[in-house]
Amino acid sequence: MKIALVTPYDYPYPGGVTEHIMQLDREFRRRGYDTRILAASSQDQEPLEDNVIKVSGAVRTFPFSGSNVRVTIAPQVYRRIKKILREEQFDIVHAHEPAAPPLCPIVLRHSHAVNIGTFHAYRETNTMYQMARPLLRPVYNKLNGRIFVSQAVRDFTLAQFPGDYRIIPNGIDFQRFASPKVRPIERFHDGRPNILFVGRLDKRKGFHHLIRAFPFIKQFFPDARLIVVGAYEDADKAPFIRYARAHRLRSVHFVGYVSREMLPRYYRTAHLFCAPSTGFESFGIVLLEAMAAGLPIVASDIAGYRLVLTNGAEGSLVPPEDSNALAHAIVNLMSAPETCQRMAEQGRRTAAQYDWTHIAEQVLAYYHDLLPTRREAAKRASFSRRVWQRLILAPSE
């Protein structure tokens, strides 16, 4: 079985969809499947993996759902995709965010394989989908199967595009974060309580609510330290640095982007993880990473996070966009080490259920369920050709 995994986003740029595809690719190849990743890539310095097919290097950034997305805009992608599909002859074409222009719709338009779409994005309102429904309908009609990463995404998407589906959640590399071999970051491993934030500094990630809560936290824990890890730019962190200086918060450390190898070490360095997102989260991958690392969590009570974290079990859920509630929840947990330990143990048990070995098995099972649809389509096409040939070539009486 030859599989194409398609991402609409800039491949080297960190993000949940890219990580999802990389992990599926790794698990599929480990099982002996022949996979290719179709993606745009703005990276010219570092070579891509052998099975990554670069469709374009022209990438632009656009605002979407309170964040920024990096997608290709090159017109030559259309011809390039047609050539790739003709040469590779995939059995499965698996498009992630299948409606995200322009790459995924082009791939689906010309694919003759079994087409599957995984839907990752979630919004509180579907006004945009309602407006774009006539344009998106041809894309959805090309899908033989649909995967939603969560119930929230399913409810959001099916409201406009009903049909058959399967819910298969995101996953994590459990051992990468849970392994006892992971060592803390030395400069932060000094006995002071560390609160960790992982993510971009987009508005929807809610970091501004966390930094506003930090002065209150410092009243109870003067030695507390806030560590901020993520793929953000200097311009993104500038207003928060000004806020920290204005309020004399000398314990806020903007680390920035860290490699996949280093990220587990930052989780292992922390004593508590905070995810103050305001919405638009379809799933809590960072929550699962924190759980695997054995951290209690304080997170916003939003749809995507409620799917993986039960309030009072693996951590505490608080109303979104509420700095006071965030501060009180963090202080309460940091003041209760036994509760933190109980939550950490429950978190590890929960996170283990989402290991990529389990998730990949579910995706592969769905592939095999759908493959007969391609065989049936091929039979129908072959029958139609034979009938047509007989009609055309039959001798006239």
For 355-375, the pLDDT digits (tens) are 999 999 999 999 999 999 766
pLDDT above 50 for 397? no
Query: Which DSSP letter does residue 32 get?
Result: T
In angstroms, rounded to a whole number, what is the distance separating the alpha carbons of residues 370 and 233?
42
For residue range 122-147, what is the model confidence (pLDDT) as tens digits?
765 555 555 566 777 888 889 999 99
pLDDT above 60 for 66? no
Residues 6+ apart with CB under 8 A from 324: 213, 216
Q: Which residue has the higher pLDDT, 308 or 66?
A: 308
Q: Which residue has the higher pLDDT, 281 or 353?
A: 353
Q: Are 262 and 229 in contact (CB under 8 A)?
A: no
Tokens of 333: 């947990």
pLDDT above 60 for 196? yes
Q: Determine the pLDDT at residue 4.
A: 98
For residue range 22-57, what is the model confidence (pLDDT) as tens digits?
999 999 999 999 999 999 998 876 788 899 999 998
In angstroms, rounded to a whole number, what is the distance separating the alpha carbons of residues 224 and 143?
50
Strands 166-167 and 145-148: parallel
Q: Determine the pLDDT at residue 60.
A: 85
Q: Are 267 and 177 in contact (CB under 8 A)?
A: yes
Query: Across the chain, what does the average pLDDT equal?
Result: 90
Q: Determine the pLDDT at residue 64.
A: 64
- Which range has the worst mean pLDDT, 73-82, 86-95, 334-343? 73-82
How far is residue 240 from each of residues 86, 211, 214, 349, measured CA to CA in Å? 50, 8, 12, 35
3-state DSSP assignment of residue 349: helix
pLDDT above 60 for 231? yes
DSSP secondary structure, 359-387, as one string: HHHHHHHHHHHHHHHHHHHHHHHHHHHHH
- All structural domains of the chain, each given as residue ranges with its CATH number in brackets, are 2-171+355-390 (3.40.50.2000), 174-352 (3.40.50.2000)
Tokens of 346: 């429950």
